[in-house]
Amino acid sequence: MRRIFITLIVCSLAMMSSHAQSDSAMIKSIYNEVLTNGECYENLRFLCKNIGNRIAGSENADKAILWGEKVMKDYGFDSVYIMPVEVPNWIRGKKEVAYYSVEGKRLDVPAVALGGSVGSEKPITAEVIEVKSFDELRALGEEKVKGKIVFFNKAMDPMLINTGAAYGGAYEIRGQGPIEAAKLGAVGCLIRSLTLADDKYAHTGATKYDDSVTKIPAAALSSVDARELSRQIKLNGSIKFTLHLTCQVFPRKMQGNVIGEIRGSEFPDEFIVVGGHLDSWDIGEGAHDDGTGIVQSIEVARALKAIGYKPKRTIRIILYINEEFGNDGGETYASVVKYKGEEHIAAIESDGGGFTPQGFNLQGTDAQMEQLKSWKPLLEPYQLFSFRQGWSGVDIGPLKNDRIALFGLSVDSQRYFDYHHSGNDVFENVNNRELSLGAAAMASLVFLIDQSGIPSGEQ
C-alpha cells in the first residue's frame, strides 16, 4: 500500500514537472514569436504616424476605431466587432495664447489647455498669484485671489522611486485646481505640468468643474516655463499674465470599443480580457499613452494564434474608447458584461507605457495572488520579478467584482511622465524591444490563466 502511495506521489510529481516543462516551452515559444516576428511595433508606427493623436469624439478616434477593427480582422480573429459607446466631444480650439511681459518684452509660453477646460471669448489678463498647494491658496483667502490667475507651481516628488506614486501625489492639483481657485474668485488657472522632465513640453490631462462654482479656463505650463514664471514673479513682485483658450464642448456622440475574440475550445463562456485604451489626448501621438497598450493587446492574440495555440477559454482583446476623459469605454463594457451575465475570470491591462516590463500588479484576492506567485519561476527567466497587489488599469477597473482577477502590466516607470499627455509622446520614444517584451509577458500570463484558470474570488 505504502509503495503504491509513493508511486502515486512520484507519478504526480513527474506529471507536475512535465506540466511545468511544457508551460515553460510554451512561454519560450511566445517570447520567440514576439521577439522575432512581432508586429506590435509596426502597428504602433501606423497608429501614431498615419492616424496620430485621437481624443475621444474626434475624427481621428473614428479612424483609429476602424483601423483597430481592420487589423484584428486581417489577423483572422474569430470575431471582431465594435461595441457602441457614447463619448464626450471636447475640442481644444485654436492654439492657446499665453504670455506675459517683462521689461516691455513679451514672453510667449507654450501652454496647453487642460482637458475639459472652458474657453473665453476674449483673452483674460490678470495678475498671477503663485501657490504650491490648496492649503496655501486657502490661506491667502478671497481678498488676495479674487480677479487673479492662480498658478499652482507644484512639482511631482522626485524622491519617490515609482513615478506613478509621484503622479498620484500631484494629480489632485490638475483635477481640482480650477475649482479651488474659482471658489476664491480667480479668473484663470495655470498649473505646472505633471512631469519629472526638465523641458519645454506642456502636459495636458483631464480637469474637473463643479456646477456650483464658476468655470474658469485652465492650462498647463512646461516645467521649464513654470520655473521661469516663478522666478519672474519673485524678481518683479508682480506679473500680469494673458491667457486665451478657445476650447468648446460639443454634444456627446457615439464611438465604440473595438473587440476581437479568439473563442475558447473548452470553456467558451469564460472570458479573459486583454486591453488598453485607443483614445489619447489631442497633442503628440498618444504613443506610450496608450498606443503601446493597444498594439500589445492585439499582439497577445496574434502571437498566440501564430504559434498555433488553441485557448480553452475565450480571449477577448478590447481597444477601449475614452479612458482619458470619463472612462466611458470601460464603464459601458462592464455594464454590458453585467447585463449579459458573462463570466469574466481575469482581465489584463497595459496602460503604463511601452517600457520594459517588470511583472504584474494584481487587484484580487490572496488566493489569486498565490496563483500568480506560483507562476514566478516560469516568468522570472524573462526578467519579470514584481508580482504584488496593486493598481491594474482604469479601463478594466469597472469589471471589478468579488470573483474576477484584475492584472496590470507593471513596467519600468522612470520615463513615462516625460512623455505622458504631451507633444513629446511620439512613436520615436518607444523602443521596439521594450514594447515587445511587454506584449510577450502579457501573452504568457494569458496562456497561464487560460491553462489552469485562476481561483474565483468567491472560492
Minimum Å distance from CB 317 to a second copy? 24
32 is a site residue for a second copy (CB under 8 A) = yes
Select 158 or 341, whichever has its Cβ closest to a second copy.
Answer: 158
Residues 110-139 that bind a second copy (CB under 8 A): none
Q: Which stretch binds a second copy (CB under 8 A): 63-71, 196-204, 313-321, 448-456?
A: 196-204
418 is a site residue for a second copy (CB under 8 A) = yes
69 is a site residue for a second copy (CB under 8 A) = no
DSSP code, position 57: T
Query: What is the pairing mode between strands 240-244 and 124-131?
Result: antiparallel
Residues 372-391 that bind a second copy (CB under 8 A): 381-383, 385-386
356 is a site residue for a second copy (CB under 8 A) = yes
Among 130, 323, 434, 450, binds a second copy (CB under 8 A): 434
24 is a site residue for a second copy (CB under 8 A) = no
- Preceding omega of 395 cis (within 30 degrees of 0): no
Torsion of CA 171, 409, 196, 395, to 10 degrees: -30
Torsion of CA 427, 429, 433, 437, to 10 degrees: -90
The count of residues interacting with a second copy (CB under 8 A) is 28
C-alpha–C-alpha distance, residues 113 and 244, integer Å: 9
Backbone dihedral angles phi then psi of residue 21, each to the nearest 5 degrees: -65, -40
Select 373 or 433, whichever has its Cβ closest to a second copy.
Answer: 433
Select 206 or 307, whichever has its Cβ closest to a second copy.
Answer: 307
C-alpha–C-alpha distance, residues 127 and 185, integer Å: 13
C-alpha–C-alpha distance, residues 393 and 320, integer Å: 11
Select 124 or 307, whichever has its Cβ closest to a second copy.
Answer: 307
Q: Which stretch binds a second copy (CB under 8 A): 27-35, 99-107, 135-143, 167-175?
A: 27-35
Backbone dihedral angles phi then psi of residue 48, each to the nearest 5 degrees: -75, -45
DSSP code, position 422: B
Minimum Å distance from CB 18 to a second copy? 23
414 is a site residue for a second copy (CB under 8 A) = yes
Kindly state the cell numbers that stand for 116: 475639459
292 is a site residue for a second copy (CB under 8 A) = no
Beta bridge partners of 105: 102
Among 305, 415, 420, 421, binds a second copy (CB under 8 A): 415
C-alpha–C-alpha distance, residues 432 and 344, integer Å: 31
Kindly state the cell numbers that stand for 216: 474658469
Select 29 or 368, whichever has its Cβ closest to a second copy.
Answer: 29
**Which of 394, 373, 367 has its CA nearest to residue 457?**
367
Q: Which residues bind a second copy (CB under 8 A)?
A: 31-32, 35-36, 158-159, 161-163, 196-198, 356, 358, 381-383, 385-386, 412, 414-415, 418, 431-434, 437
